[in-house]
Amino acid sequence: NAGVMQNPRHLVRRRGQEARLRCSPMKGHSHVYWYRQLPEEGLKFMVYLQKENIIDESGMPKERFSAEFPKEGPSILRIQQVVRGDSAAYFCASSPLRAPSDNEQFFGPGTRLTVL
Amino acid sequence: KNEVEQSPQNLTAQEGEFITINCSYSVGISALHWLQQHPGGGIVSLFMLSSGKKKHGRLIATINIQEKHSSLHITASHPRDSAVYICAVRGINTDKLIFGTGTRLQVFP
């Protein structure tokens, strides 16, 4: 039973380009969470999605960032027109059920985005 | 003031020592998580608890809901325990986690 998969593991982009980060949840999990870890900072919540629905996007920057979790395929975190401040590790987690049940989140290995 | 505070920020220990990492939070919660992040960056979930105490191998996690405090203990520490330990809470009627800034542990042989 594979864990949460993220790809690419490392992504380098130049300022102004687009970054697409993919997350495949664990088998049987229909809830996906995206978190960002800026250099030397703690993890911060970005967005929570169920299949085809955004449940909570209160942590997403207002511009350039979007997320989706289609019926088929992985969840995608998309950053348009990247800037140097977007350089960070982006982690995805998945869970089988929705809170507040006894609901553990399982983390992927992260995608390290570097903006030149 | 952060909603989740951890102490200490950095911790060094000799192999075999008993380790305690503390986490205090200021919001109502439905669950508290302890996570481990290794130098390579991957995150592993160690515990999720909402009351009492849990034990897994040499790791013990406790939580006191009234005092809004949790501790992570490592018995007989080993160099392979060297990592950043992160406390995270899930609020009531919300799905997102709020993270502490982590405790960096180094265990020397």
Mean pLDDT calculated for residue range A89-114: 83
Mean pLDDT calculated for residue range A36-51: 91
Q: pLDDT band for A67, please (50, 70, 90 cuts).
A: very high
- Residue contact B96–A105, C-beta within 8 A: no
Burial class (CB in 10 A: 0-12, 13-18, 19+), B23: buried
Mean pLDDT calculated for residue range B45-52: 92
Cα of first residue to Cα of last residue in chain A, in angstroms, is 36
- Residue contact A105–B45, C-beta within 8 A: yes
Mean pLDDT calculated for residue range B55-71: 96
Which 8-state DSSP code applies to residue A26? P
C-beta of residue A100 within 8 angstroms of C-beta of residue B30 = yes
Tokens of B94: 């919300």
- pLDDT given for residue B36 in this prediction: 96
- pLDDT given for residue B96 in this prediction: 84
- Residue contact B98–A45, C-beta within 8 A: yes
C-beta of residue B79 within 8 angstroms of C-beta of residue B69 = no
Nearest by CB to residue B30, choosing from A42, A100, A110, is A100
- Residue contact A43–B88, C-beta within 8 A: yes
- Chain B neighbors of A38, CB-CB under 8 A: none
Scored b (16 or more CB within 10 A) or e, A42-54 reads bbbbbbbbeeeee
- pLDDT given for residue B64 in this prediction: 96
